[in-house]
A and B are shown apart, each in its own frame.
Chain A
């Protein structure tokens, strides 16, 4: 049995919140640079250049790349051989978020209730926490700050088996079309296929954590990712929706078995600030 203390977890989450907001992943930068070459629209090229400059400036000055430093979405993979000591795991995650958002000069964007008062919680908690118990004696923590501009453009639909592949393709492409410039393209599109109502949404969110350029391990879904990426980039929405070739950096699909009567499809859209950082304790 390996022991991990609460204070280790708090420190780790604090650092992940800050790092995710200051330092964009190399996969995003490499993809953005490659797409700058491909973009034909002069306005689109200018926007991609500004984004690249912005992201290197954020890293250099250690400030958030975007003022919407997001809702803190935290994924935990806790090894079943791990013993957490010193307090509550959930509270440790919230405390790490609280400290990270304060020390990192990150914006506090959470409100207590969604409709009546909408009073700010002042520390960006609560975090959204997903915990998986897995074999092993390590704990993997991923923090993915998610901005609302792109989250608001997401959608879930309980499709039926008769809608078929064509139906899924049409739903995804049409969703990106309707979102247009709002989610800050070039976007990453996460698609959750199968499971049930809530699982499909979680699959779509998890799809966003995969490195840009990676493909689904099953050929049929890897092909579907390529098809969707091409169709989405044919929409002409372009960087920030002002027209151009590069609407999406990538499309990632995650899949799961589902009921004979169902075909849940969830689409979670991620802005170009595709931020997430991971640590293994």
Chain B
């Protein structure tokens, strides 16, 4: 890990360009939760040239479908879901001002190109650490598509949400570089 950095939303491009893959980042502010079903709906709105339920400018989408909140808790377990399923929709959202996504797993070439083009960032949170990550979530409210249950579009506020820089504004990819560093080449496998 290179550095520990604290960021507040909405994100500013000059803060993002100084980030490098592997940096540990703590985010405070607002995140929008969206996964498969919401992305499909947002994409349909864009195709029809209709307004989205929230403004994308400077914002972060967190790929998560939380478990139900216990009484007294703002949210249930809330770790990242696998990002590649959103790859089809992400470039269009980045081109409209979305500044970052939080998820897990490798992204497509098209997403990487859109990240570079828009000086955006892809953050990686630890998959399967939903109980731990939920502790950083202070409020949660559904702002659209309530009928989708766990998959609804939520606005959540977080304090020091921990993640790593997975794709930086230069297009460096922590998955590629991290794996290349530790791979042991065998004669034959």
Residues of A within 8 A of B (CB): 40-44, 46-47, 50-51, 53-55, 57-58, 61, 63-69, 105-109, 118, 120, 122, 147, 149, 152, 169-170, 173, 180-182, 184, 231, 234-238, 240-245, 271-273
Asked if B106 is at the interface (CB within 8 A of a chain A CB), the reply is yes
Chain A residues with Cβ under 8 A from B106's Cβ?
A: 180-182, 241
Cross-chain contact A107 with B81 (CB below 8 angstroms): no
What's the Cα separation between A43 and B131 when bound, in Å? 20
Q: Is the Cβ of A107 less than 8 Å from the Cβ of B68?
A: yes
- Report the minimal beta-carbon distance from A59 to chain B, rounded to whole angstroms: 9
Known contacts A106-B67, A234-B186, A273 near B128 by CB under 8 Å? yes
Q: Are the C-beta atoms of A108 and B150 separated by less than 8 Å?
A: yes
| List of 5 A-B pairs having minimum Cβ-Cβ separation, nearest first | A243-B178, A236-B183, A236-B182, A54-B132, A184-B127
B34 interface residue, CB < 8 Å from A?
no
Bound CA span A102–B106, Å: 33
Distance of B132 from chain A, by nearest CB (Å): 4
B122 interfacial contact with A, CB 8 Å: no
Say yes or no: B126 contacts A50, CB within 8 Å: yes
Minimum CB–CB distance from B5 to chain A (whole Å) comes to: 14
Residue positions of B touching A, CB distance < 8 A: 1, 22, 24, 37, 64-70, 73, 76-79, 81-82, 84, 104-106, 124, 126-135, 148-150, 162, 164, 166, 174-175, 177-184, 186, 189
Which residues of chain B are within 8 angstroms of A54 by Cβ–Cβ distance?
A: 126, 128-133
Contact residues of A: prevailing secondary structure: loop
Q: Are A50 and B162 in contact (CB under 8 A)?
A: yes
In angstroms, how far is the closest chain A Cβ from the Cβ of B57? Answer: 28
A107 and B24 contacting across the interface, CB-CB below 8 Å: no
Q: Do residues B177 and A67 form an inter-chain contact, with CB atoms below 8 A?
A: no
| A109 CB contacts on chain B under 8 angstroms | 65, 150
- Asked whether, in the complex, the Cβ of A271 is within 8 Å of the Cβ of B66, the reply is no
Q: Which residues of A contact B134 (CB under 8 A)?
A: 63
Give the distance in Å from the alpha carbon of A61 to the alpha carbon of B130 in the complex.
12
> Which chain B positions have C-beta within 8 A of A170?
189
Q: Which of B67, B133, B178, B184 contacts A41 (CB 8 A)?
A: B178
Q: What residues on B are CB-neighbors of A63 within 8 Å?
A: 67, 70, 73, 76-77, 131, 134
Residues in B whose Cβ lies below 8 Å from that of A149? 81-82, 104, 127
Q: Is the CB of B189 within 8 A of A169?
A: yes
Is the CB–CB distance between A243 and B79 below 8 Å? no
Residues from chain B with a CB closer than 8 A to the CB of A182 are: 82, 84, 104-106
Q: How far is the CA of A55 from the CA of B81 in the complex (A)?
A: 18
Q: Which of B67, B82, B133 has the most CB of A within 10 A?
A: B67
B67 pairs with A64, CB closer than 8 A: yes
Distance A51 CA – B164 CA, assembled complex (angstroms): 15
Contact present for A57 and B184 (CB under 8 Å): no
Most buried by B among A51, A54, A182, A273: A54
Q: Given A47-B126, A106-B67, A234-B186, is A65 in contact with B150 using a C-beta cutoff of 8 Å?
A: no
Closest CB in chain B relative to A179 CB, distance in Å = 9
Separation of A235 and B126 alpha carbons in the complex (Å): 20
- The contact of B149 among A122, A169, A244, by CB within 8 Å, is A122
List 24 A-B residue pairs with CB atoms under 8 Å apart, sorted by A's residue number.
A43-B22, A53-B129, A54-B126, A54-B128, A54-B131, A64-B130, A66-B79, A66-B129, A67-B77, A68-B79, A107-B67, A107-B76, A147-B128, A181-B106, A184-B127, A236-B178, A236-B180, A236-B181, A236-B182, A240-B126, A241-B106, A242-B124, A242-B178, A243-B181
State whether A67 touches B1 (Cβ < 8 A): no
A69's closest neighbor in chain B, by CB? B67
Task: Find B126's partner among A51, A64, A69 (CB 8 Å cutoff).
Answer: A51
- Contact check, B77 vs A65: say whether CB atoms are below 8 A apart: yes
With a cutoff of 8 Å between Cβ atoms, the chain B residues found around residue A44 in the complex are 182
A234 and B137 alpha carbons, distance in the complex (Å): 36
Interface pair B179/A236, CB less than 8 Å apart: yes
Beyond contacts A50-B162, A105-B76, A243-B175: 8 other A-B pairs, Cβ-Cβ < 8 A, are A41-B182, A106-B68, A107-B68, A180-B175, A236-B184, A237-B179, A242-B124, A243-B178
